[in-house]
Amino acid sequence: MSVKIIQTADGSNSLHHEVLDETYHSIHGAIQESKHVFIDAGLKQLNKKNEIQILEIGLGTGLNTLLTFLENKHQKIHYTAIEAFPISMSISENLNYIQLLNATKQEHVFKTIHSCEWNTPIFLNEYFVFKKVLTTLQNFKPTQTFDLVYFDAFGPKVQPELWTEEIFTKIYFTISTKGILVSYCAKGEVKRILKKVGFEVETLPGPPGKREMTRASKK
């Protein structure tokens, strides 16, 4: 896989996939985007629950996982991330998230996210259980339901096979009642599919550089 590190507008790194000509995060700010979409519109909406199950579609740089870990205080989080094409350790070791987030004490956590064994639950601390699964979304076979889904796959233009009615139906039946899915993508066709499979869909203000984002709820 051919990727290179780039700098986004808030100073944080992203990756550019040279074959797909697509970035892993917004060029307007990787950390800003992840906090806005996945933490503020996702995780913080479930802060009244003592224990939550999270599914991330696309581990990528590990930024969403790291931000979730840093944001968590005393919730018990079971975090499952799927990834079909993991980045190399040499790439992950040169991402600047730890420095920008003033998280030197948690540097070992970020390293563990990328270096730990696949398909094996790992305790990052007493509250956070992390498991990464080496698979495609199409082949992923969940063994539990999830309260929160971070849908952070490459966009519909680049990977249309991940934004289909079949995929979102699969996710709908993977999400617990009152669970939510959040995504940076706000395309009309994607929202129509989400509604068709049963979600209640909200269009929310997007992160810097993007007008809108999507949150879908299972009532």
Q: According to the 3-state scheme, what is the secondary structure of the chain? A: CCEEEEECCCCCEEEEECCCCEECCCCCCHHHHHHHHHHHCCHHHHCCCCEEEEEEECCCCCHHHHHHHHHCCCCEEEEEEEECCCCCHHHHCCCCHHHHCCCHHHHHHHHHHHHCCCCCCEEEECCEEEEEEECCCCCCCCCCCEEEEEECCCCCCCCHHHCCHHHHHHHHCCEEEEEEEEECCCCHHHHHHHHHHCCEEEEEECCCCCCEEEEEECC
The answer to whether residue 49 is domain-embedded is yes
Amino acid at 43: L
Average of per-residue pLDDT across 210-216: 97
The answer to whether residue 189 is domain-embedded is yes
For residue 1, pLDDT over 70 is answered with: no
Return the bridge partners of 54, or none.
79, 148
Judge contact between 63 and 31, C-beta under 8 A.
Answer: yes
Mean pLDDT of the chain, nearest integer: 96
The answer to whether residue 147 is domain-embedded is yes
- pLDDT by residue (tens digit) across 126-137? 999 999 999 999
The answer to whether residue 101 is domain-embedded is yes
Q: In which domain, by residue range, is 84 found?
A: 29-217
The answer to whether residue 18 is domain-embedded is no
The answer to whether residue 124 is domain-embedded is yes
- pLDDT by residue (tens digit) across 59-81? 999 999 999 999 998 889 999 99
Structure-block tokens of residue 6: 């780039």
Distance between CA 8 and CA 117 in Å, rounded? 30
The answer to whether residue 98 is domain-embedded is yes
Q: How many domains does the chain have?
A: 1
10-24, 38-52, 164-178, range with the lowest pLDDT: 38-52
The answer to whether residue 164 is domain-embedded is yes
CATH number at residue 55: 3.40.50.150
For residue 48, pLDDT over 90 is answered with: no
